[in-house]
Amino acid sequence: MRIAYICTDPGVPVFGSKGSSIHVQEVVRGFARTGAEVTLFATRLGGDPPNDLRGIAVHRLPSPPCGEPAARELAGLAANSALRAALAEHGPFDLVYERYALWSRDAMEYARATGRPGILEVNAPLIEEQARHRILVHRTEAEQVATRVFAAARALVAVSPGVGAYLAEQGVEPARIHIVPNGVDPGRFRAVGASHGPGAATRSGRPFTVGFLGTLKPWHGLGVLLDAFARGHRDAPDRRLLIVGEGPERGMIESVAARLGIASALVLTGAVAPHQVPGQLAEMDVAVAPYPDQAGFYFSPLKIVEYMAAGLPVVASRIGDLHRIVRHEVSGLLCPPGDPGALASALDRLRRDPAMGRRLGAAGREAVLGNHTWDAVVARILDLAGLRPRHPSQREGYSA
């Protein structure tokens, strides 16, 4: 079985450490574990591949030029011809699988023209996201690309119900929309040991540690987290806030932490390599996803399933579909979005009751490893393509 994986989004370094990068790597790994021959077509590599992916054939696609946004967008459109030529040169493929990008249309049209299944993975409403948070000059052209690529795909994989609803609003037939949430690799995340994770602060004497993992972006609610942590820190100064990741909000975090008097309790690691993430999670007693209140929440946060796979109790905002992943009082705690007082109270509950943290963490790990593994994700994708994985075990464990 030959599979082409395409990622033309210049914001996704396929061998980087961003959540989107990990998503690409894990799906490619899952395809490879079925015995398939995987060829990766990517605009941005972001470094050397991990050791276990060095055997994957990689073809670098043209990168948009630096500078004026309008020119970059037109270059993205023009790059379709190079992508189609590369697919024709290195094909044929039994499956053409693409991570949706603003300007890429020819992969799905190539699959349809050659009679092969083309599956489009959609992670976000990219046009709205680009227009709101960045710059989008050629919106009409981006909408035309979306219309064409959504129509050409045999099936569309949405990472959350929110993304699925967006696709339906774009006129995609419900029968072609399939919700396939993010997964985890059980071998990458081990349950935290006796000297780490939930309750370790009371057993080892190290500070009770609240943790966050992810790119430091405005929509992650880090200001709410800082406020909540500062409230608890006033009552119990012996605690630590561990933020693992890098991004444009770092300056805000540092300045707000100084203003709130918690700078000495704050640890900012910066970006870490994917293989370092499990070790960072093992230093936490509780992990947070403090999303603020926002309309049209569509995220399927990779961080949450990774927290749970590590056996950590999770405190997350009750927003979007997160209640389906984190079951309140069963596998974690849910708080109203944008409410630092509620978040502070939830964190304090877990600080005072480490046994509850261990119980929630164990339940979360069991739920994630039973329902959200990358092998199960890939098995679902291959089912949609009308293909079958070589190893029967890869068909087990999926739950929408």
Residue 392 has pLDDT above 60, yes or no: no
List CB contacts of 129: < 8 A, sequence separation 6 or more: none
Q: How far apart are CA 198 and CA 313, in angstroms?
A: 7
Q: Which residue has the tokens 């990358």?
A: 374
Encode burial over 336-354: b for 16+ CB neighbours within 10 A, e otherwise. ebbbbebbbbbbbebbeeb
Average pLDDT (23-45) is 96
> 2-183+373-395 in CATH: which number?
3.40.50.2000
Residue 335: beta bridge partners? 317
pLDDT value at residue 189? 81
Residue 369 has pLDDT above 80, yes or no: yes
Q: Is 385 exposed, middle or buried (0-12, 13-18, 19+ CB in 10 A)?
A: buried
pLDDT value at residue 398? 30
Share of the chain above pLDDT 90, in %: 81
pLDDT value at residue 1? 94
Radius of gyration, alpha carbons of the chain = 21
pLDDT value at residue 192? 56
Domain coordinates of the chain in residue numbers? Answer: 2-183+373-395, 200-371
- Return the structure tokens found at 313: 């109790």
Q: How far apart are CA 41 and CA 44, in angstroms?
A: 9
Residue 5 has pLDDT above 50, yes or no: yes
pLDDT value at residue 399? 33
Residue 6 has pLDDT above 80, yes or no: yes
Average pLDDT (204-220) is 89
- Could you tell me the fold of the domain covering 200-371? Rossmann fold (3.40.50)
Residue 140 has pLDDT above 70, yes or no: yes
Check if the beta carbon of residue 236 is closer than 8 Å to that of residue 267.
no
3-state SS, residue 38: strand
What is this structure's pTM? 0.86
Residue 242: beta bridge partners? 211, 267
Q: How far apart are CA 12 and CA 3, in angstroms?
A: 20
pLDDT value at residue 366? 94
Average pLDDT (312-321) is 95
The maximal CA–CA distance of the chain, rounded, in angstroms, is: 65
Q: Which residue has the tokens 């970059």?
A: 72
Check if the beta carbon of residue 302 is closer than 8 Å to that of residue 188.
no
Average pLDDT (28-49) is 96
Share of the chain above pLDDT 70, in %: 93
List CB contacts of 307: < 8 A, sequence separation 6 or more: 213, 281, 287, 289, 314, 364
Average pLDDT (171-195) is 83
For residue 391, how far is the Cα from the chain centroid?
Answer: 26
Long-range contacts of 142-146 (CB under 8 A, 24+ apart): 142/73, 142/102, 142/103, 145/77, 145/102, 145/103, 145/104, 145/105, 146/170
List CB contacts of 272: < 8 A, sequence separation 6 or more: 17, 244, 245, 280
Report phi then psi at 286, rounded to 5: -150, 145
Q: Do the domains spanning 2-183+373-395 and 200-371 agree at the CATH topology level?
A: yes
CA atoms within 13 A of residue 6's CA, in its CB half-sphere: 35
Residue 375 has pLDDT above 60, yes or no: yes
pLDDT tens per residue, range 72-103 = 999 999 999 999 999 999 999 999 999 999 99
The mean-pLDDT minimum among 30-34, 71-75, 136-140, 191-195 falls in 191-195
Residue 394 has pLDDT above 50, yes or no: no
Residue 193 has pLDDT above 50, yes or no: no
> Could you tell me the pLDDT band of residue 156, with boundaries at 50, 70 and 90?
very high
pLDDT value at residue 393? 42
Q: How far apart are CA 56 and CA 26, in angstroms?
A: 13
Q: How far apart are CA 307 and CA 369, in angstroms?
A: 12
Higher pLDDT, residue 133 or 361: 361
pLDDT value at residue 389? 61
> Could you tell me the pLDDT band of residue 133, with boundaries at 50, 70 and 90?
confident
pLDDT value at residue 380? 95
Pairing of strands 314-317, 332-335: parallel
User: Mean pLDDT of all residues in the chain?
Assistant: 91
Residue 202 has pLDDT above 60, yes or no: no
pLDDT tens per residue, range 228-257 = 999 999 888 889 999 999 999 999 999 999
